[in-house]
Amino acid sequence: MLVLKGIPASSGVAIGKAFLFSSEELLIPRRPIAEAEIPAEVMRFEEALIQTRHQILGIQHRLADEMGQEHAEIFNAHLLVLEDQSLREEVLGGLKAQRLNVEYIFNEVVRRYLRAFARTNDEYLRDRTADIEDVRKRILRNLTGRHLDAMGQLDEPVVVIAHALSPSETALMHKRHVLAFVTDVGGRTGHTAIMAKSLGIPAVVGVEVATARIEKEGLIIVDGTRGEVIVDPDPATIRRYEVEQRRIQEVNRQLLQLKDLPAETLDGHRVTLSANIEVPDEIPSVIAHGAEGIGLYRTEFFYLNRTDFPSEEEQFQSYKSVAERLAPQSVIIRTVDLGGDKFLSPLDLPTEMNPFMGWRAIRFCLARPDVFRVQLRAILRASAYGNLKLMFPMISGLEELRRAHEILEGVKGELTREGLAFSPAMDVGAMIEVPSAALTCDLLAGDAKFFSIGTNDLIQYALAVDRVNEKIAYLYEPAHPAVLRLLKQILDAGHQAGIWVGMCGEMAGEPALALLLLGLGLDEFSVSPIQVPLIKKVIRAVEYHTAQAIAQQAMQFRTGKEVEAFLLSHLRQLVPDLAE
Ligand code: PEP
Ligand code: MG
């Protein structure tokens, strides 16, 4: 038995067989085909080759413009791979001889090449392996029309072990087949961890040695609450965790009894308790857990795992259905926040040195009004069907906020001219997740109907701690006095200007911190659907003036650790059955 320590990313316990997932070794579907299907498979292959060629030529043009011809020529080798006749003939021959789907045959042929090249003494050929590998992935992606869905290949429930999981890979996981996941890298507010919470599966990230120490298919236990992974557990440990699983189920069952009760303190101070979603599939869970609407709909998952941009109609239908299903409760749609750890499949963007501080969110949207307007049109049109609100992510100052409003107003004008219905009075707010915005909330308040604090980013920027880097995760402290001061400043400025202030970062879903936020005057808590009952329990266990006194005292401590210990001791007193 071996116990590995990591970062608790999504609570709960799972016991199951390990499945080592590697993005590099994608599972390629293998499907027998009839003779009559061969021409269609050949056609798919030819089209994928043409599409790949266009993409590579596109990259070459861009590189030639931005960095000069020499850099662009590096990609000539990729084009040569595409034009290689013997590769093509082998694939077509294999297709006829083996009668299997073309991505499978193609992958087998290329892997044979790669193995042979790796063994050769010819340095030139050895150097070509990286080019071939790149072309292999591109062609496979084009053949399948999306990133390969290795998760879709699973036919029994497993615990996924991976070095890293991108948010788009996590989005493909299905709760039915993935009991839990464990990664070598990552932090607790990375989008991979957030997705695990949405799926309601336990997760431990930042284990560092998970893929090195966990054998394929061995039994493991994931304790997402403590951040532990137990490899080859002995029978007594398995029994202990089975009891723990039942205890968690019982606690959750009891919490669910609060479903229809309001989120109000013992003395009647009411707050809004809503849920965050990534995809509309989560709506049943939002309703089942008794959330009051949606405080953050992260629309970027629409843009991942595909090779084109989502159309206005596609987005409109989806937003409209979310608005209708939640009405009369409100749904806050956030305009797309691509970049950071959520990479856009169709764009093939060059890797940035500091993606979280780079071309993301509103910065990307303002630079690409063509993409932005399509989304704004879809959101506005959907606003005619329910109680929609909209917010812009990563606002760093007033100019950006005004520019976003200008584009929105332009789109409203267009819709009016076209005679398309929308709600002209839809509330528009700003996410406060950049320190410059936090420090100038008084200046922004006149141009926002509400603020929603994005602590996942705000903390990483305020403390200079990358939210997905496990090496420095110990510095990522929501209770750090610097963070508390920023929060107080945002809340006070918002309230002085007469607007409500919510929080949709993960901090709002931590019971001890929720106590503090309540006391600081937070008006809206938006958390992962499964955390809704938990936070409601905390709010309903305290009098408002007590929470205010706790918050005031918490502001006096000099370290985050002290604040945390102080809040935990109060939580234990107020809700003893929650604290372990
Ligand atoms: C945040 O930053 O707190 C937030 C809610 O947005 P995201 O996690 O999507 O960056
Ligand atoms: Mg954010």
Question: Each residue of 275-304: pLDDT tens digit?
Answer: 999 889 899 999 999 999 999 999 988 887
Residue nearest to atom 7 of ligand 1 (CA): 456
Distance 183 CA to ligand 1 centre (A): 20
Is residue 72 predicted with pLDDT exceeding 90?
A: no
Q: Is the CB of 337 under 6 A from ligand 1?
A: yes
Mean pLDDT of 32-61: 87
Q: Is the CB of 41 under 6 A from ligand 1?
A: no
- Is the pLDDT assigned to residue 25 strictly greater than 60? no
| pLDDT of amino acid 154 | 67
Please state the rounded mean pLDDT for residues 179-190.
Answer: 89
Q: Domain 2-23+150-253's class?
A: alpha beta
Beta strands 228-231 and 219-223, pairing class: antiparallel
| Index of the ligand 1 atom closest to the CA of residue 340 | 10
pLDDT at residue 177, rounded to an integer: 83
Q: Which SS3 state, helix, strand or coil, does residue 248 take?
A: helix
Annotated catalytic residue within 289, 441, 504, 570: 504
Judged against a pLDDT cut of 90, whether residue 20 lies above it is answered with no
Nearest to 276 by CA among 160, 191, 361, 355: 191
Neighbours of 220 (CB within 10 A): 26
**Residues 235, 225: Cα–Cα separation, whole Å:** 21
- The count of residues in the chain is 580
Asked whether the predicted pLDDT for residue 216 surpasses 80, the reply is no
**Listed ranges 81-85, 94-98, 144-148, 350-354; the one with the highest mean pLDDT:** 94-98
What integer pLDDT is reported at residue 439 of this predicted model? 98
Q: Are 529 and 293 in contact (CB under 8 A)?
A: no
Residue having the nearest C-alpha atom to atom 4 of ligand 1 = 454
pLDDT tens track for 77-135: 778 888 888 888 999 999 999 999 998 899 889 888 877 877 777 767 766 776 787 78
Among the residue ranges 214-218, 478-482, 547-551, the one predicted with the least confidence is 214-218
% residues pLDDT > 90 (the chain): 65
pLDDT at 147: 46
Residue bearing tokens 């600081």: 520
Higher per-residue pLDDT: 299 or 68:
299
**191 part of the active site:** yes
- The lowest-confidence range among 149-163, 289-303, 338-352, 511-525 is 338-352
Nearest atom in ligand 1 to 455's CA = 3
Q: Is 502 in the pocket of ligand 1 (CB under 6 A)?
A: no
Domain ranges of the chain: 2-23+150-253, 35-144, 257-578
pLDDT for 363: 96
- Note if 163 is an active site residue: no
The answer to whether residue 345 scores a pLDDT higher than 70 is no
Cα(576)–Cα(337) distance, integer angstroms: 39
Comparing C-alpha atoms, which of 174, 155, 109 is closest to residue 136? 109
- Kindly report which listed range (15-29, 171-185, 227-241, 487-501) carries the lowest average pLDDT score: 15-29
457 lines ligand 1 (CB under 6 A): yes
CA of 502 from ligand 1 middle (Å) equals 13
Residue 148 — very low, low, confident or very high, per pLDDT cuts 50/70/90? very low
Task: Indicate whether 149 pLDDT > 70.
Answer: no
Q: Confirm or reject: Cβ of 335 under 6 Å from ligand 1.
A: no
Cα(287)–Cα(572) distance, rounded to whole angstroms?
A: 28
Q: Which ligand is nearest to the CA of 342?
A: 1
Among 1.10.274.10, 1.10.1670.10, 3.40.50.2020, 3.40.50.1240, what is the CATH number of 35-144?
1.10.274.10
Residue 553, pLDDT above cutoff 80 = yes
Q: Whose CA is nearest to atom 9 of ligand 1?
A: 298
Q: For the domain 257-578, what is the CATH code? A: 3.20.20.60
Model pLDDT, residue 456:
96
Closest CA to 519 of 484, 481, 477, 494: 484
Distance of alpha carbon 378 from alpha carbon 310, whole angstroms = 10
Q: Tens digit of pLDDT for each residue in 391-420?
A: 999 999 999 999 999 999 999 999 999 999
- pTM flag (> 0.85): no
Q: Percentage of residues in the chain with pLDDT exceeding 70? A: 91
- Show the tokens assigned to 402: 């005004």
In the reported structure, the alpha carbon of residue 196 is separated from the centroid of ligand 1 by a whole-number distance in angstroms of 15
- Output the pLDDT for position 90: 92
Catalytic, out of 147, 191, 289, 570: 191
456 lines ligand 1 (CB under 6 A): yes
Ligand 2: centre distance to CA 466 (Å):
12
- CA angle at residue 536 from 532 to 538, to 5 degrees? 125
> Is the model's pLDDT at 212 over the cut of 90?
no
Rounded distance between C-alpha atoms, residue 7 and residue 208, angstroms:
10
Give the Å distance between the CA of 7 and the centre of ligand 1: 18
pLDDT recorded at residue 427: 98
Residue 150 predicted with pLDDT over 60:
no
Q: How far apart are CA 131 and CA 18, in angstroms?
A: 32
Are 120 and 53 in contact by the 8 Å Cβ rule? The answer is no
C-alpha 233/C-alpha 571 separation (Å) is 32
